[in-house]
Each structure stands twice: as structure tokens, then as C-alpha cells.
Amino acid sequence: MRLFQNASTLNQKLIFSIILLSVSNMANAACSALYNHQFSTLQGEKINLCDYQDKPILVVNTASKCGFTPQFEALEGLYKKYKDQGLLVIGFPSNDFKQELSDDKQIGDFCKLTYSVKFPMITKTSVTGVNANAFYKQLSAKTGQSPSWNFFKYVVLPGGKDVYAFSSNVKPDAVEIVSKINSSLK
């Protein structure tokens, strides 16, 4: 009798595990390819873009030693102003244009101490060419535009159907960007 009870318990655990795996796979399947990316941040956290597919996202490639670096202030300002309404501002430090510090700790310290950056900053990555990370490759393909310099921006509207590219010269708080974001805030 005890053998049958153990077998029954084992079967229940197996069925429960299969159900959990199925639910997990359905959640991942519900995440569109554009959002199906996970990153580590300079702040030591993990970020899964699937968690943000129903929110507007402002994506920017950054560099600590660039003439556009003061745009961190406007980026942080937008993040503070709109994060509770659903906006994700996310930075991708890159040395593709030879203006980024050498390691993630230096970049994180610079962003925090110089500009009080609290929005998620991803570990140093490539955003252009064949070495670009997969997310940036998708953004470039979707818009037909790759970053031509540091602080190039993308606005990804909920669902990823609409993605807009903005040059480095367009400030993060410019009307062109804020109007796109505002239409999707809660």
C-alpha cells in the first residue's frame, strides 16, 4: 500500500512540474521576439524586457566621455517623471564610438556620482555592426536605422509594433520623443 502512495505522490509531483513548465513556456511564448531579452544591469540586477512589453520604453546607447553625455540629466528627469506611469528608460553603455570607460564599475560610478542615474543601465555592450547585441540588431532592423553615434535613441511603444529612432542631436526630453511616450503612459 505504501508503495502505491509513494507512486501516487510522485505522479502528482510530476504532473505539477509539467503544469509549471507549461505555464512558464506559455509566458515566454506570449513575449514577442523584440522583448525576449534579459540583461544584467550595472546596478547588479536582472532585467527582463518581457516584463515591459505593455509599457513605453526609451532606449539609449550611452558613453561617459561624449559631448552628449549631459543628456543623462534629461534621461534621468524623464525616468523620475514618468516611471510611475509606466515608462522604462534603459541605457546601454557602449564603446563602439571609443568614448566609454573601460569597465562596468567605472561606468556605474560615473553615472551615479556625476548624474545621479537611477534608471537601469545595462552592462557594457556593442550596439552597432555585426557585434551589436541582439536587441539592438532588432531595433535597427525595425527602424532601418542603427546608432550613428552615442546617445542615439529608440522609443518602443507598447507591443513593439511602433519603434521610432532619434539621432543623438534630439534631446531625450524633446517634444518629438515626449509626445510618442505620452501617448502610451498610464
Q: What residues are labeled active site?
A: 66
CB atoms within 10 A of CB 69: 18
Please answer whether residues 145 and 164 qualify as being in contact, where contact means their C-beta atoms are separated by less than 8 angstroms: no
Q: Is 18 left (phi over 0), alpha (psi -120 to 50) or beta?
A: alpha
Give the angle 145-131-118 at the CA atoms, nearest 5°. Answer: 75
Of 157, 159, 133, 162, the closest CA to residue 146 belongs to 133
Residue 113: is it exposed, middle or buried by C-beta count within 10 angstroms (0-12/13-18/19+)? exposed
